[in-house]
Structure 1
Amino acid sequence: MTYRTETLLKRPDARTISVPGDVAFHRTMHYRAVPLAALLEGIGRDDHLQFVAGDGFAAEIPATLLMNMQGSEAWLAIEDPSRPWRALDKNRGSAGPFYVVWTRPQAARVGQEQWPYQLARIRKLGGVAERFPAILPDPSLPADSDVQRGFAVFQRTCFACHTLNAQGDSKLGPDLNLPHNPTEYLRADLLRAFIRNPQSLRQWPQAKMQGFDTHALSDADLDAVLAYLRHMAGRKPGH
């Protein structure tokens, strides 16, 4: 289904919401928005959705998280052409026309990569494991292992911008295993510093990668995703 700005703004369930600590604007923002679950007609809780931005960013969000009516709630914020939002910093343009925002995101541990802005389309797809088998860790590893936990974190944070083993939908950032995995050429302390603040390692005004502070990515989650990356360095195609 195609939605237009004017149609969404006229919906009876459109309302003004306040979003403290907005991920894109780093301040409290106020939006006209519609509950995202109300727009997902025909989508079941077991479905998997991909939110694709105009620049190619592709956020993978399970429908069960979007339909969670207790705790965190997802909204589709709609930019009114007569009252445009302020520009994003670092020359990133506008967050409009549509932006997925959350109220009480901490309740469901919603990650900053699950706030896609400049939204162009929503796609119903198979799960990540089904579509991209080359990114899977060794299936014999226990579900509670650091590698398996890191794989879950990778999907929530890194996979929106990067491919791995040449698989994935987003091409904003480089592949994280081919030809070399970052754990193969960066010391662990430097890689941690880079993920926290990319500009601390290599200053580049045009860089697109946003850092992950401890609120967005805990130390335990960072350790887990690094364990996954180290593991995948030994699971390249043809190895």
Structure 2
Amino acid sequence: MKSLLFSLIVLSCTAQAAEFEVQLNDTRHTWSSSELLNHPQAREIEIADDVSYKRPMKYRAVPISALLDGVTPGDHLQAVALDGFAAELPAAILLASEGAKAWLAIEDPQHPWPPLASGKPSAGPFYLVWTDPAASQIGPEQWPFQVARIRQLAPVEQRFPALLPAADASSEVQAGFALYQKNCMACHRLNGAGDSAFGPDLNIPHNPTEYFTGDFLRQYIRDPQSLRRWPQGRMPGFSEQAIRAHELEQLIGYLQHMAQRKVTR
């Protein structure tokens, strides 16, 4: 009880002092929660099917594009959360005026959001949410909560060549690589390459295609707790809406391909 009370006090203090940072090449801009709550473009929005809370939610939010002055659709961005979760995001989807629209939801310290689960903190102080996400096939890993900053980086292919398929890899494997970036890279490294240390490496020492037989890997991706049930399990399941059947085969094809391209250390 004392531990929970201490955690709530710390989280309350953090929310009151929260700052959100945008790093663009050699410039950086920081906004406090108060500044964002009172931003000229801030408004109340409704999210019909919130990925993290798994129910409808209402937020005070700012269009993320309003905080990305100077960013162009061809740029590459990364949203980094307090726990090390690092979502790779093409700037084009964050700047889009049609289809899915990205918003930075801001937790008001005077009216905190509910906890994500019993004994857990909320999704705040800042949370990247989407209206009409299905219109642009926004995946669950593109909803980073407790996000602390967005930074501009070189594309994944340039930063982490150890992730690249062979030059003669099929178009299906190349498509699987794109799906890996969208759905897996926020939590996992592969061949030691990546910015997140949230989950285990997916190729070293062993690739999941080497120890999941039959359809168990597909089942694990769809519903991890159906194979490995433990309270601390944090990997979400990926529904057919998030990763379609043919996309799941492409993703597994990429992993199988990379099992033959391990980086030795």
What TM-score do the two structures reach when normalised by structure 1?
0.96
CA RMSD of aligned residues (A): 1.3
**2:205 equivalent to 1:179:** yes
Partner of 2:226: 200
**For the residues of structure 1 that align with 2:127 and 2:180, how far apart are their CA atoms?**
22
Matched AA of 1:30: K
What TM-score do the two structures reach when normalised by structure 2?
0.87
Among 147, 154, 159, the residue aligned to 1:126: 154
**For the residues of structure 2 that align with 1:187 and 1:76, how far apart are their CA atoms?**
41
Report how far residue 90 of structure 1 moved. Answer: 5.9
Gaps of 5+ in 2: 1-28
Report how far residue 92 of structure 1 moved. Answer: 3.7
Among 58, 68, 71, the residue aligned to 1:30: 58
Among 226, 234, 239, the residue aligned to 2:252: 226
**2:105 equivalent to 1:77:** yes
Deviations 1:162-194 (A, max 9, x none): 000000000111000001101011114111111
Partner of 1:210: 236
**For the residues of structure 1 that align with 2:66 and 2:79, how far apart are their CA atoms?**
16
Partner of 1:41: 69
1:78-117 matches, cutoff 5 A = 78-89=106-117, 91-117=119-145
Matched AA of 1:146: E
**For the residues of structure 2 that align with 1:227 and 1:98, how far apart are their CA atoms?**
35
**For the residues of structure 2 that align with 1:188 and 1:136, how far apart are their CA atoms?**
26
Partner of 2:45: 17
**For the residues of structure 1 that align with 2:71 and 2:200, how far apart are their CA atoms?**
32
Partner of 1:236: 262
Matched AA of 2:183: T
**For the residues of structure 2 that align with 1:207 and 1:11, how far apart are their CA atoms?**
37
**For the residues of structure 2 that align with 1:162 and 1:92, how far apart are their CA atoms?**
22
Identity of aligned residues (%): 54
Among 112, 122, 135, the residue aligned to 2:163: 135
